[in-house]
């Protein structure tokens, strides 16, 4: 009888231990599942640029480990594979591992924007060119046009010699991928002394760039307090420019499904430009290129726009006269042998299906055909913005399937 009671007790104890082990195993399986789920959520944070997800290997989480998470692009979808592990805990604990496979519908979009507010062509025997107020940005959720998925750069001034950019690397602020916001600046006294020998007097320079991939977006800008070119050698004073501030950006809006790209003179700022002393005055120039698309038929928009308070030409005999009306009517105005100013090219394109938009152009073109200058071309107010998105526009993350492996 005692033996029977003992055997029954042993069986009950064994059964109880098994039940407890099974209960613990089920609990640990649930924990492993939640850990794997956390790995999926970390990858989803990179939507829609899931291809930019760096992957995870052995990350401690909630008492367990996210063993691995990786993303693979398959046609128009992304496959996320996440493995969670919960270790043995206690004398009856049983380790558990869960693997999840999640399929996400891909949403690919891309765009770019750039501006250069002033571009002076080659000046014989002096410079290959000068560019002021430059900024550009680019995004691509597939990472094909940019390896970083998002790039931004601000360059306030480029001084080009036959051998290259004199200021190369001196003040170029770049942000790529998830590097975020970067800024830089340089005071006039820290610029190369050779600039003055080339006839350039430059104010303080500033630049900024900001990029991210969750979601892909980019912004940049540049600033130059003042710029004066000439006199140098036998050349007279060619130009003088007031404060230039530019900005470029690409911003997705998943609430409205819209991608917006823009570039030009920053905000409500404007630029005053004087050419050949006071021969030509361009007052309060503003420039902006904007492109936006939401993937809905007929709703893509592209606009290149510029404005000035006035453009004044100082004629030798009659003196100063506004030529803004004549310029808009005729497309160009000449001061023979001295300068010619004309309207710049403009282009605005959209796709009827609402998936593409591009706006680009230059506000003004000035040619200095004088004997000494040999035909210098000055481009003023150049900006471009472009976007491309899928039909239907930008959409929140859509899960096609979610399953355990």
Question: What pLDDT was estimated at residue 285?
Answer: 98
66 and 178 assigned to the same domain:
no
Question: What pLDDT was estimated at residue 302?
Answer: 99
Structure tokens belonging to residue 290 = 């904007």
Alpha-carbon distance values, 300 to 193, 287, 342 (Å): 48, 20, 30
Structure tokens belonging to residue 293 = 């698309």
- CA atoms of 115 and 248, how far apart (whole Å): 7
How many domains does one find in the chain?
2
51 and 125 assigned to the same domain:
no
Closest to 314 measured CA to CA, from 322, 303, 306: 322
Query: What is the Cα gyration radius of the chain?
Result: 31
Question: What pLDDT was estimated at residue 93?
Answer: 64
Question: What pLDDT was estimated at residue 162?
Answer: 83
155 and 38 assigned to the same domain:
no
178 and 207 assigned to the same domain:
yes
86 and 222 assigned to the same domain:
no
Q: What is the extent of the structural domain holding 272? A: 110-388
Question: What pLDDT was estimated at residue 389?
Answer: 97
Alpha-carbon distance values, 255 to 20, 252, 259, 357 (Å): 49, 9, 11, 19
230 and 212 assigned to the same domain:
yes
Give the total residue count for the chain.
405
220 and 74 assigned to the same domain:
no
Mean pLDDT for back-to-back runs of 10 residues, the chain (405 residues):
46 44 76 96 93 94 96 90 88 82 94 97 81 97 92 96 84 95 95 90 97 96 95 79 96 96 95 95 98 98 98 92 97 93 98 98 92 76 98 92 92
Question: What pLDDT was estimated at residue 169?
Answer: 79
Question: What pLDDT was estimated at residue 116?
Answer: 96
Q: Label residue 220 exposed, middle or buried (CB < 10 Å: 0-12, 13-18, 19+).
A: buried
Question: What pLDDT was estimated at residue 24?
Answer: 65
282 and 346 assigned to the same domain:
yes
Question: What pLDDT was estimated at residue 22?
Answer: 58
Closest to 40 measured CA to CA, from 96, 10, 81: 81
Question: What pLDDT was estimated at residue 3?
Answer: 43
């Amino acid at each position: 009888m005692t033996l029977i009671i003992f055997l029954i007790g042993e069986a009950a104890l064994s059964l109880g231990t098994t039940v407890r082990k099974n209960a613990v195993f089920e609990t640990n399986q649930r924990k492993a599942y939640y850990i794997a789920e956390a790995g999926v959520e970390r990858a989803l944070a990179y939507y829609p640029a899931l291809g930019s997800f760096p992957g995870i290997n052995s990350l401690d989480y909630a008492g367990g480990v996210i063993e691995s998470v990786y993303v693979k692009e398959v046609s128009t979808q992304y496959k996320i594979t996440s493995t969670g592990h919960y270790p043995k805990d206690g004398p009856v604990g049983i380790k558990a591992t869960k693997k999840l496979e999640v399929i996400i519908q891909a949403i690919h979009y891309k765009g770019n924007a750039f501006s250069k507010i002033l571009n002076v062509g080659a000046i014989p025997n002096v410079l290959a060119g000068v560019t002021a107020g430059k900024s550009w940005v680019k995004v691509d959720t597939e990472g094909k046009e940019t390896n970083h998925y998002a790039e931004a750069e601000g360059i306030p001034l480029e001084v080009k010699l036959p051998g290259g950019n004199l200021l190369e690397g001196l003040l170029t602020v770049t942000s790529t991928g998830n590097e975020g916001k970067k800024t830089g600046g340089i005071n006039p006294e820290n610029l190369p002394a050779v600039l003055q020998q080339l006839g350039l007097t430059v104010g303080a320079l500033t630049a900024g760039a900001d990029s991210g991939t969750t979601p892909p977006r980019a912004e940049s800008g540049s600033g130059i307090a003042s710029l004066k070119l000439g006199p140098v050698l036998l050349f007279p004073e060619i130009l003088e420019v007031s404060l230039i501030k530019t900005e470029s950006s690409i911003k997705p809006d998943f609430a409205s499904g819209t991608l917006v790209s823009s570039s030009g003179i920053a905000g409500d700022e404007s630029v005053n430009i004087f050419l050949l002393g006071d021969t030509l005055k361009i007052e309060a120039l503003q420039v902006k290129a904007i492109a936006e698309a939401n993937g809905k038929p007929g709703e893509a928009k592209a606009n290149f726009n510029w404005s000035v308070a006035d453009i004044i030409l100082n004629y030798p005999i009659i003196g100063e006269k506004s030529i803004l009306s004549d310029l808009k009517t005729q497309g160009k105005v000449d001061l023979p042998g001295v300068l010619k100013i004309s309207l710049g090219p403009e282009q605005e394109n959209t796709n009827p299906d609402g998936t593409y938009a591009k706006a680009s152009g230059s506000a003004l073109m000035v040619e200095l055909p004088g004997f000494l200058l040999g035909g210098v071309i000055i481009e003023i107010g150049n900006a471009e913005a472009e976007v491309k998105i899928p039909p239907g526009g930008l959409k929140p993350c859509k899960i096609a399937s979610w399953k355990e492996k």
